[in-house]
Amino acid sequence: MGDVQTYELRPIGRVRSPLTDRGAAPKQGDEGAPPASIAISPEFAEAMADLEVGATVIVLTWLHEGDRTVLSVHPRDDVTRPLTGVFSTRSPDRPNPVGLHVVTITGVDGTTLAVRDLEAVDGTPVIDIKPVLGPER
Protein backbone atom coordinates (compact mmCIF):
# COMPACT_ATOMS: atom_id res chain seq x y z
CA MET A 1 0.00 0.00 0.00
CA GLY A 2 3.06 2.26 0.03
CA ASP A 3 2.72 2.95 -3.69
CA VAL A 4 1.09 6.28 -4.32
CA GLN A 5 -0.68 6.49 -7.64
CA THR A 6 -2.36 9.55 -9.02
CA TYR A 7 -5.27 9.79 -11.40
CA GLU A 8 -6.32 12.63 -13.62
CA LEU A 9 -9.88 13.96 -13.52
CA ARG A 10 -11.33 16.34 -16.09
CA PRO A 11 -14.27 18.48 -15.04
CA ILE A 12 -17.23 18.06 -17.37
CA GLY A 13 -18.80 21.30 -16.19
CA ARG A 14 -19.33 23.69 -13.30
CA VAL A 15 -22.04 24.37 -10.76
CA ARG A 16 -23.84 27.69 -11.14
CA SER A 17 -25.51 28.61 -7.86
CA PRO A 18 -26.34 31.62 -5.71
CA LEU A 19 -24.42 29.79 -2.95
CA THR A 20 -20.99 31.40 -2.75
CA ASP A 21 -20.01 30.86 0.89
CA ARG A 22 -19.26 27.27 1.85
CA GLY A 23 -19.98 28.00 5.51
CA ALA A 24 -23.46 29.30 4.71
CA ALA A 25 -24.39 26.46 2.35
CA PRO A 26 -26.81 23.76 3.55
CA LYS A 27 -25.18 20.51 4.70
CA GLN A 28 -27.38 18.49 2.31
CA GLY A 29 -29.35 19.45 -0.79
CA ASP A 30 -32.75 18.75 0.76
CA GLU A 31 -32.00 21.17 3.60
CA GLY A 32 -32.80 24.38 1.73
CA ALA A 33 -30.52 24.41 -1.31
CA PRO A 34 -31.65 27.07 -3.79
CA PRO A 35 -32.34 26.24 -7.44
CA ALA A 36 -29.04 25.79 -9.27
CA SER A 37 -27.71 24.76 -12.65
CA ILE A 38 -24.85 22.79 -14.10
CA ALA A 39 -23.09 24.30 -17.09
CA ILE A 40 -21.73 21.35 -19.06
CA SER A 41 -18.71 21.98 -21.30
CA PRO A 42 -19.82 21.95 -24.96
CA GLU A 43 -17.45 19.08 -25.77
CA PHE A 44 -19.67 16.82 -23.60
CA ALA A 45 -23.02 17.87 -25.12
CA GLU A 46 -23.55 14.47 -26.74
CA ALA A 47 -23.28 12.80 -23.32
CA MET A 48 -26.38 14.76 -22.22
CA ALA A 49 -28.57 13.33 -24.97
CA ASP A 50 -30.94 11.34 -22.77
CA LEU A 51 -31.14 13.55 -19.68
CA GLU A 52 -34.75 14.61 -19.15
CA VAL A 53 -36.73 16.93 -16.92
CA GLY A 54 -37.95 15.05 -13.86
CA ALA A 55 -35.07 12.56 -13.88
CA THR A 56 -33.18 11.98 -10.64
CA VAL A 57 -29.43 11.81 -11.17
CA ILE A 58 -26.30 11.59 -9.08
CA VAL A 59 -23.92 14.49 -9.62
CA LEU A 60 -20.32 13.90 -8.61
CA THR A 61 -18.32 17.03 -7.84
CA TRP A 62 -14.78 17.89 -6.84
CA LEU A 63 -15.18 19.83 -3.60
CA HIS A 64 -12.33 22.16 -4.46
CA GLU A 65 -12.56 24.07 -1.18
CA GLY A 66 -12.22 20.88 0.89
CA ASP A 67 -9.22 20.30 3.16
CA ARG A 68 -7.52 17.11 1.94
CA THR A 69 -5.54 16.66 5.18
CA VAL A 70 -8.60 16.08 7.38
CA LEU A 71 -9.17 12.48 8.51
CA SER A 72 -11.76 12.95 11.26
CA VAL A 73 -14.48 15.51 11.98
CA HIS A 74 -17.31 16.27 14.35
CA PRO A 75 -20.31 15.24 12.18
CA ARG A 76 -22.26 18.25 10.87
CA ASP A 77 -19.69 20.52 12.62
CA ASP A 78 -21.41 19.75 15.93
CA VAL A 79 -18.66 19.69 18.57
CA THR A 80 -20.98 17.86 20.98
CA ARG A 81 -20.74 14.84 18.67
CA PRO A 82 -17.62 12.65 18.90
CA LEU A 83 -14.84 12.86 16.34
CA THR A 84 -15.66 10.47 13.50
CA GLY A 85 -13.51 9.20 10.63
CA VAL A 86 -14.41 11.09 7.45
CA PHE A 87 -15.20 7.86 5.59
CA SER A 88 -18.22 7.54 7.90
CA THR A 89 -19.41 11.08 7.15
CA ARG A 90 -20.41 13.30 4.23
CA SER A 91 -17.82 15.93 5.17
CA PRO A 92 -16.34 17.88 2.24
CA ASP A 93 -12.99 17.76 4.06
CA ARG A 94 -11.40 14.40 3.21
CA PRO A 95 -8.40 12.93 1.34
CA ASN A 96 -10.25 12.98 -1.99
CA PRO A 97 -13.01 15.58 -1.77
CA VAL A 98 -15.52 13.97 -4.09
CA GLY A 99 -19.04 15.26 -3.53
CA LEU A 100 -22.11 13.13 -4.16
CA HIS A 101 -25.40 14.91 -4.79
CA VAL A 102 -28.75 13.34 -5.62
CA VAL A 103 -30.59 15.98 -7.63
CA THR A 104 -33.68 16.28 -9.80
CA ILE A 105 -33.40 17.82 -13.25
CA THR A 106 -35.88 20.69 -13.58
CA GLY A 107 -34.79 21.95 -16.99
CA VAL A 108 -32.53 21.21 -19.93
CA ASP A 109 -31.43 24.09 -22.14
CA GLY A 110 -28.59 23.30 -24.54
CA THR A 111 -25.66 22.33 -22.34
CA THR A 112 -27.20 23.65 -19.12
CA LEU A 113 -29.08 21.50 -16.65
CA ALA A 114 -31.34 23.24 -14.13
CA VAL A 115 -31.52 21.18 -10.94
CA ARG A 116 -32.92 21.22 -7.44
CA ASP A 117 -31.35 19.94 -4.21
CA LEU A 118 -27.75 20.79 -5.17
CA GLU A 119 -25.90 22.30 -2.19
CA ALA A 120 -22.52 22.83 -3.90
CA VAL A 121 -21.17 26.37 -4.10
CA ASP A 122 -20.91 28.35 -7.30
CA GLY A 123 -17.99 27.29 -9.47
CA THR A 124 -17.66 23.78 -8.02
CA PRO A 125 -16.25 21.46 -10.71
CA VAL A 126 -18.61 18.68 -11.81
CA ILE A 127 -16.73 15.45 -12.58
CA ASP A 128 -19.58 13.14 -13.59
CA ILE A 129 -23.33 12.62 -13.78
CA LYS A 130 -24.88 9.19 -13.32
CA PRO A 131 -28.45 7.92 -13.40
CA VAL A 132 -30.20 6.64 -10.31
CA LEU A 133 -31.02 3.07 -11.23
CA GLY A 134 -34.14 1.35 -10.03
CA PRO A 135 -34.93 -2.35 -9.82
CA GLU A 136 -36.11 -2.39 -13.44
CA ARG A 137 -32.64 -1.55 -14.79
Q: Which residues of 96-133 are buried (b: 16+ CB within 10 A; e: fewer)?
A: ebebebebbbbeeeebebbbebbbbbeebbbbbbeeee
Full set of structural domains in the chain with CATH: 13-21+28-131 (2.40.30.70)
pTM score: 0.87
Task: Give residue 89's Cα distance to chain centre.
Answer: 15
Max intra-chain CA distance, the chain: 48
Q: What is the pLDDT of residues 28-85, one digit of tens each?
A: 656 668 899 999 999 999 999 999 999 999 999 999 988 999 999 998 778 899 999 9
Side chain identity at residue 16, one-letter code: R
Q: How many Å apart are CA 78 and CA 99, to the nearest integer?
A: 20
Side chain identity at residue 116, one-letter code: R
Q: What is the pLDDT of residues 87-101, one digit of tens each?
A: 999 899 999 999 999
- Residue 3, SS3 per DSSP: coil
pLDDT the model gives residue 26:
47
